[in-house]
Amino acid sequence: MLEDEFEWHRKQGVKPIINVSGTMTGLGASIAAPGVAKATAEAMANFVSIHQAQEKASEVIARLTGAEAGFLTASASAGITLSIAACITGLDPARVEELPINIGEKNEVIVQSGHLCGYGAPVAQAVALSGARVRSVGQSTLCMDHQITGAIGRTTAAALFVVSHHVVHYGQCPLKRFVTLCHKAEIPIIVDAASEHDLRGFLKAEADLVVYSGHKFLGGPTSGIVAGRRDLVRAAYLQNIGIGRGMKIGKESIFGTIAALEAWETRDHAAIRTKEAKALGSWTHALSNIPGVTTTRVADPTGNPIDRLQVDINSEEVGISAATVARLLGERDPAIIVRTHGLDLGYFQLDPCNLLPGQAERVATALREVLSSAETSAAKPGDTEIARNGSTRAYLDWGKS
């Protein structure tokens, strides 16, 4: 029997989902923060000057980030592309219209090799959409100062610094040092902080532009936030007459994101942490005393104030692999979608940030059911491979029939 929280799913004829994965594009990102749905709906019924709407967004972004100015675009990925374009064209509309073909002499963007991750698409491609080329610096697990300074030259337009659990977490040049080295050569630094809670720290560390997603932890509509130096923010905004057109944001998402930023200011973060800790506790309890299953509370790798529960599966002892457990949970109704990075290493994680009331308990019950009665027959060959390739597979399979 489905409960009321899934009434919308029944009406739309779509499968109910309990999200213990995180803010994933493929799951609809996040649950809207208080006031967001109303602000979005109210905007739909009215005309407004988009420039004035973006001025209002700029004020709120500046207040929360400490930036000189900011604006909104379609996504963080779009924000990266537009920020790099800004460093190439400045405020010259003729040059804006030439991108991405005639980009000019300054056509390279410096990125540490260990930062060249994917977040559903390659970050290098978000750079390339502007017309610029990525100049990868160092090796994947080590980036030394001389490699950065040696890569900077006449053709360098900007440097990109990526903050993410997806990047390599050791051997990388930290932001402060990266800023020092790049600023010595007057190269602007763009920080991709799409999934970070810290709205002030990157600009405080003297990054020139920082990019956030509006639809991740902020709980806004799908959007990207660009904040930082006024001249660069204006140049990034100007890209709306060029490559930014296909990345545009509408009035509804502008006012929805403003509402999400305002809700962030007044959110009771401590109460949310307490609720999340309770969920982790109930899952730890549910999984205790199951032979071959080990749970560990792990901190977020980039320092967001989130703990997740890591569930290690000894497949010999349990009879099935972590990948099979993840699949079985996903096949239930409602589907329980776990955090799957690490399946190849024999674990999955449970993220408590996107739960509705009562769902933590349902996840605990489902975990116990799947794991205490694990049937080896449930294992399908290749579950781990399918999990690794699954995100692309789903796009390929879509629309087949």
Ligand X SMILES: *Cc1c(COP(=O)(O)O)cnc(C)c1O
**Piece of the chain touching ligand X by CB under 6 A; list 74-82, 237-245, 311-319, 325-333:** 74-82
**Piece of the chain touching ligand X by CB under 6 A; list 73-81, 244-252, 328-336, 374-382:** 73-81
The contacts of residue 233 (CB under 8 Å, 6+ apart) are 58, 67, 68, 69, 70, 71, 86, 209, 226, 227
Q: Where does 19-121 have alpha helices with state H? A: 36-44, 50-65, 76-89, 93-98
Residue numbers 158-197 binding ligand X by CB under 6 A: 162, 164, 192, 194-195
Residue numbers 75-104 binding ligand X by CB under 6 A: 75-77
Between 133 and 165, name the residue whose CB sits nearer to ligand X: 165
Question: Binding to ligand X by residue 70, rule CB under 6 A?
Answer: no
**Burial class (CB within 10 angstroms; exposed 0-12, middle 13-18, buried 19+) of 96:** buried
Q: How far is the CB of 292 from ligand X (least distance, A)?
A: 32
The contacts of residue 9 (CB under 8 Å, 6+ apart) are 2, 15, 16, 17
Q: How far is the CB of 167 from ligand X (least distance, A)?
A: 8
Distance CA 299, CA 165 (A): 11
Residue numbers 362-401 binding ligand X by CB under 6 A: none
Does residue 22 sit in helix, strand or coil? coil
Q: Of 197, 357, 352, nearest to 277 (Cα)?
A: 352
Between 213 and 295, name the residue whose CB sits nearer to ligand X: 213
Q: How many CB atoms lie within 10 A of CB 360?
A: 22
**Piece of the chain touching ligand X by CB under 6 A; list 69-77, 277-285, 291-299, 303-311:** 69-77
Question: Binding to ligand X by residue 25, rule CB under 6 A?
Answer: yes
308 membership: H or E segment, kind and range:
strand 307-313
Q: How far is the CB of 90 from ligand X (least distance, A)?
A: 24
Between 226 and 287, name the residue whose CB sits nearer to ligand X: 226
Residue numbers 119-138 binding ligand X by CB under 6 A: 119
Q: How far is the CB of 119 from ligand X (least distance, A)?
A: 4
Distance CA 336, CA 328 (A): 9
HSE-up (13 A, CA, CB side) for residue 269: 11
Total residues binding ligand X (CB under 6 A): 12
- Specify which residues 294 forms β-bridges with: 312
The contacts of residue 281 (CB under 8 Å, 6+ apart) are none
Q: How far is the CB of 162 from ligand X (least distance, A)?
A: 6
Residues in contact with ligand X, shown as a per-residue x/- string from 222 to 261 under the rule CB under 6 A: --x-------------------------------------
Q: How far is the CB of 223 from ligand X (least distance, A)?
A: 7
Q: How far is the CB of 211 from ligand X (least distance, A)?
A: 7
Distance CA 326, CA 339 (A): 8
Q: How far is the CB of 27 from ligand X (least distance, A)?
A: 12
Task: Give the distance from CA 339 to its chain's centroid.
Answer: 13
Considering only residues 213, 240, 257, 384, which one is a binding residue for ligand X as defined by CB under 6 A? 213
Question: Would you tell me which residues interact with ligand X (CB under 6 A)?
Answer: 25, 75-77, 119, 162, 164, 192, 194-195, 213, 224
